[in-house]
Amino acid sequence: MMNQHDTCKTLTVVQSEYCSVTRCPDCGMYHLHVGPLSLRLREEVFTSICAALSSIHRGHYGHNEHLNMSVRSH
């Protein structure tokens, strides 16, 4: 049985050597492709992931109140 996302006609938002992001203008879902992994994400989830990765990239380790997240070492 197909659902509405099985027929997404995506447009490329950004593409790099290791990942790409596409978006379906009809349903608004973002598609994050990293190597062989693909995730279909609602806009608020995609935005949250981007904010978290951006914070780590900028070196803001530890608790970040406005993102409601914390970075832990393993």
Tokens of 51: 């904010």
| 67 pLDDT higher than 70 | no
pLDDT tens digits, one per residue of 31-45: 999 999 999 999 999
Beta-bridge mates of residue 39: 32
CB 18 within 8 A of CB 35: yes
pTM: 0.69
DSSP 29-61: -EEEEETTEEEEE-HHHHHHHHHHHHHHHTT--
Q: Which helix (H) or strand (E) covers residue 21, if one does? A: strand 19-23
